Amino acid sequence: ATPVMAIVGRPNVGKSTLFNKIVGERIAIVEDRPGITRDRIFAASEWSGNSFRIIDTGGLDFGEDDEIAGRIRAQVELAIDEANVIVFLVDGLTGLTSADEEIADHLRRSHKPVIVAVNKADHPGRLSHAYEFYQLGFGEALSISAEHGLGIGDLLDEIVNHF
């Protein structure tokens, strides 16, 4: 079966932007308002001879308990189950949040390989928060800018290492 990579993270960290950048098309909806990607979006992609499928998940929100939040959570669960490797996307401009820590706990329980990518590193050296994500316990994080296409090749190299 074709390997699967899932992008997971709290709302507004840039999951859909990263998805579109990797796929090379605007499939996912990028929104300033958090939580716009309600359902999983799939696409096929390829990197250095490795074909894989990529899933953009809606934002994980463990704080709310309404029906939509529950549905999104269920979709994210499914995506995590199907994934061979998970890209845990965090926001280097806002730094580590309690929601990131909750997601990290959750991902740890999945026992899947997790790569932490610190997004919004638009200007090298300007990410004062990059190091605190080491606390999440998934090893060294990769700094990227999904919007400007920085660090994406290194991230893809790391992803296909897990297939």
User: Binding site for GTP: what residues are annotated?
Assistant: 9-16, 56-60, 119-122
- Which residue among 37, 119, 143, 145 contacts Mg ion (CB under 5 A)? 37
Q: What is the dihedral of CA 60, 61, 67, 72, to 10 degrees?
A: -10
Residue 122 touches which of ligand GDP, Mg ion, none (CB < 5 to 8 A by kind)?
ligand GDP
Is 89 in contact with 19 (CB distance < 8 Å)? no
Which among 16, 13, 39 has a CA at the least distance from the CA of 29? 16
Nearer Cβ to ligand GDP (102/163): 102
Nearer Cβ to Mg ion (4/89): 89
Q: Which residue is at the shortest CB distance from ligand GDP?
A: 14
Helical packing angle, 152-160 and 15-23, nearest 10°: 80
Q: Report the binding-site residues.
A: 9-16, 56-60, 119-122
Footprint of Mg ion on 101-140 (CB under 5 A): none
CB of 68 to ligand GDP, least distance (A): 14
Residue 92 touches which of ligand GDP, Mg ion, none (CB < 5 to 8 A by kind)?
none
Report how many helices (DSSP H) and strands (DSSP E) the chain contains, helices first: 4, 6
Is 3 in contact with 86 (CB distance < 8 Å)? no
Question: Which residues of the chain form contacts with Mg ion (CB under 5 A)?
Answer: 15-16, 37
